[in-house]
Amino acid sequence: MRLVIINGPNLNWLGRRQPDIYGSEGLDSINARLQEFAQSLGAELVCHQANGEGQIIDLLQDQADKCQGIVLNPGAYGHYSLAIADAVAALSIPVVEVHLTNVFAREQIRHSQVTAASCDGYICGLGWRGYILAIQALETLVKEGKNA
């Protein structure tokens, strides 16, 4: 099974960007943890990061036929990107959205989650561990033959 993680804007700056909110661990370190976990399940995991909305859409479209499921952290785009929501809705594979922080405990503007309605699942507020749960969920969805 091949799974893909797509991280959105500013996540490449984890560890140095507002560590009081996002923690001190960098994206490379988190990706290494996730790679190790995926391998323990017998899954291949490919990690991407893009700052641009169009880049994220390109990744979603490009990876749709190359994997069985996607973990998507659209970052701030999750709050307003109909374009990313439409791209996710067009996929025939399961997608689980992840946010490191509990967006509902933050500013009111972050409470709106436009992209989440197009996803099969939504996890927030558990830091990097949310990705682990998303990988587990995708593994189950794929084994059950669930398509988005």
Domain ranges of the chain: 2-143
In Å, how far are 3, 45, 97, 128, 139 from 37, measured between CA atoms? 12, 9, 18, 12, 12
Q: Tell me the pLDDT tens digit for each residue of 16-67.
A: 988 888 888 999 999 999 999 999 999 999 999 999 999 999 999 999 999 9
The two tokens of residue 15 are 């560890």
What does the mean pLDDT of the chain come to? 93
Single-letter residue type at 55:
Q
Residues designated as active site: 22, 99
Residue with tokens 């059950």: 144
> Where does residue 19 rank: exposed (0-12), middle (13-18), buried (19+ CB within 10 A)?
exposed
d(C-alpha 140, C-alpha 10), whole Å = 30
Q: Tell me the pLDDT tens digit for each residue of 108-144.
A: 676 668 999 999 999 999 999 999 999 999 999 999 9
Closest CA to 96 of 129, 117, 74, 119: 119
Q: What pTM was computed for the model?
A: 0.93
Q: Identify the bridge partners of residue 4 per DSSP, sorted by sequence position.
A: 46, 70
What 3-state DSSP class applies to 122?
Answer: strand
**103 C-beta neighbours (distance < 10 Å), count:** 20
What is the mean pLDDT of the segment spanning 74-85? 95
pLDDT surpasses 60 at 148: no
What superfamily would CATH give domain 2-143? Dehydroquinase, class II (3.40.50.9100)
Residue 28 CB contacts under 8 Å (≥ 6 apart), including other chains: none
Q: Identify the bridge partners of residue 3 per DSSP, sorted by sequence position.
A: 45, 69
